[in-house]
């Protein structure tokens, strides 16, 4: 017996360039009807953990309207239709938001941000030996975005206290640092 639900009706409630919200009418394998079941379609995102040669992480501080707060994050954003692949999207986002570039890129992972209700993935990249060229090109809504670099140790120590307020960014940082051989688990829990 399949454990997948069957969708018997799907109605798009909202659709624009950023989001599509639909209400599905579903039947579970056991025969229960779940309706409405809301599903959100977003484009895929990229998150970049950029490390400088002196072991600092390139971060951005920006206003996030959903929570009404200014939040510290890793650079990233939506993969554009003009991006030939996810890495090019990551390269573009890093430079646009921070003015940093790198010639050493590694794909770390692709994850579902919220598989219960969202269809997209977030693609995490590690950029090593990042250098600032100062060429930023902020999108509308990113005015006031502040770029800062913090020592890896300071970031990992601050994770448990909410230094990075976005759980997907915490996962990206931990995975990228582990991949780069720069994660000291004792500093994350200390």
- One domain for residues 18 and 88: no
Among candidates 164, 111, 133, 160, which has minimal Cα distance to 52? 133
Query: What tokens does 161 get?
Result: 């206290």
- One domain for residues 55 and 141: yes
- One domain for residues 32 and 100: no
- One domain for residues 37 and 122: no
Report the pLDDT averaged over residues 129-138.
90
10 lies in which domain range? Answer: 6-41
Query: Given this model, what pLDDT does residue 141 score?
Result: 78
Is the pLDDT at 136 greater than 90? The verdict is no
In a domain, 151, yes or no: yes
- One domain for residues 116 and 93: yes
Total domain count for the chain?
2
Q: How far apart, in whole angstroms, are the C-alpha atoms of residue 176 and residue 109?
A: 9
- One domain for residues 96 and 141: yes
Query: Given this model, what pLDDT does residue 184 score?
Result: 78
In a domain, 82, yes or no: yes
C-alpha torsion 156→167→82→40, nearest 10: 180
- One domain for residues 12 and 77: no
| CA-to-CA separations, 97 to 30, 50, 90, in angstroms, rounded | 48, 12, 11
Is the pLDDT at 83 greater than 60? The verdict is yes
Query: Given this model, what pLDDT does residue 57 score?
Result: 98
- One domain for residues 60 and 16: no
pLDDT in tens, 95-104: 999 999 999 9
pLDDT band at 1, cuts 50/70/90?
low
SS (H, E, C) 33-85: EEEEEEEEECCCEEEEEEEECCCEEEEEEEEECCCCEEEEECCEEECCCCCCC
- One domain for residues 175 and 125: yes
In a domain, 1, yes or no: no
Rg, C-alpha atoms of the chain: 19
Among candidates 128, 111, 129, which has minimal Cα distance to 120? 111
């Amino acid at each position: 017996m399949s454990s997948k639900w069957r969708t018997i009706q799907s109605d798009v409630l909202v659709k624009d360039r950023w989001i599509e919200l639909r209400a599905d009418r579903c039947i579970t394998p056991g025969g229960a009807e779940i309706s409405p079941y809301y599903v959100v379609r977003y484009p895929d995102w990229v998150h970049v953990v950029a490390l400088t040669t002196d072991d600092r992480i390139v971060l951005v501080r920006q206003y996030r309207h959903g929570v009404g707060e200014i939040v510290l994050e890793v650079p990233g954003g939506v993969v554009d239709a003009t991006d030939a692949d996810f890495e090019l999207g990551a390269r573009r986002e890093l430079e646009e938001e921070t003015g940093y570039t790198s010639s050493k890129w590694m794909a770390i992972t692709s994850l579902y941000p919220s598989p219960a209700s969202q269809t997209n993935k977030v693609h995490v990249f590690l950029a090593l030996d990042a250098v600032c060229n100062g060429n930023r090109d902020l999108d509308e809504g990113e005015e006031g975005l502040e770029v800062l670099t913090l020592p890896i140790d300071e970031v990992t120590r601050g994770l448990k206290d909410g230094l990075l307020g976005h759980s997907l960014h915490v996962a990206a940082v931990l995975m990228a640092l582990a991949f780069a051989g720069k994660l000291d688990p004792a500093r994350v829990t200390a």
